[in-house]
Amino acid sequence: LMISINISRRHFQNPAFLEEYAEIKERYGIADGQIELELTESVFFNEEQIALVKQAVFRMHQLGFRCSLDDFGSGFSSLGLLKSFDVDAIKLDRIFFEDIAQKKAQDILCCLIELAHRLHIQVVAEGIETEEQLDFLRTTTCDMVQGYCYYRPMALQDFFLLLDGAACSR
């Protein structure tokens, strides 16, 4: 299973935060590529911070972490970030899927997915709540889908029961 951790501007106040995460990863024997650090748009607030984040993304990969842009397409997230950052995945913001019945919305999504794949970036559709949204995504090459269409937030013990049931059904 992939574990995703949101990284915000606050993390960058501690220059050693990546080394601390790497130490925890090592201590618990977590394999490279199993933890994805999600950059939230709050980390991109000025040119100095952007340079710092570029260095951090490089270091994340050296330490065996994956890196994604969370809530892509909302707020300050832009296509320019795809050019500037060597990320493994983008997580398309739910705003793209609110009017999925409109042809224009579908065309934009198809173009974003194709562009990401041309750049060898995985695409995750976030906030998928309806069957209509899911049906549209099945017609695309989107890599992953997450949202209430599958599960709502749940207590940890319920999650473990879900995992145990999935293991038993194999």
* pLDDT value of residue 152: 87
* pLDDT value of residue 99: 95
Q: What digits encode the pLDDT tens for the residues 16-39?
A: 999 999 999 999 999 999 999 999
Average pLDDT over residues 44-58: 83
Q: What digits encode the pLDDT tens for the residues 57-104?
A: 999 999 999 999 998 887 665 777 788 889 999 999 999 999 999 999
* pLDDT value of residue 71: 87
Q: Is the pLDDT of residue 15 over 90?
A: no
Mean pLDDT of the chain: 90
* pLDDT value of residue 48: 76
* pLDDT value of residue 124: 97
- What's the number of CA atoms in the CB half-sphere (13 Å) around residue 1? 7
- The neighbouring-strand residues paired with 72 are 92
Q: Which helix (H) or strand (E) holds 7?
A: strand 3-7
* pLDDT value of residue 50: 81
Percentage of the chain surpassing pLDDT 70? 94
Q: Is the pLDDT of residue 167 over 70?
A: no
Structure tokens at 101: 């019945």
* pLDDT value of residue 113: 97
Which of left, alpha, beta for 127 (phi over 0: left; psi -120 to 50: alpha)? Answer: left
Torsion of CA 13, 18, 20, 22, to 10 degrees: 170
Burial 92-111 (b: 16+ CB within 10 A, else e): bbbebbeebeeeebbeebee
Separation between Cα atoms, residue 5 and residue 142, nearest integer Å: 21
> What is the DSSP secondary structure assignment for residue 35, as one 8-state letter?
E
Q: Which residue has the higher pLDDT, 77 or 127?
A: 127
Q: Which residue has the higher pLDDT, 107 or 48?
A: 107
Contacts of 119 (CB under 8 A, 6+ apart): 82
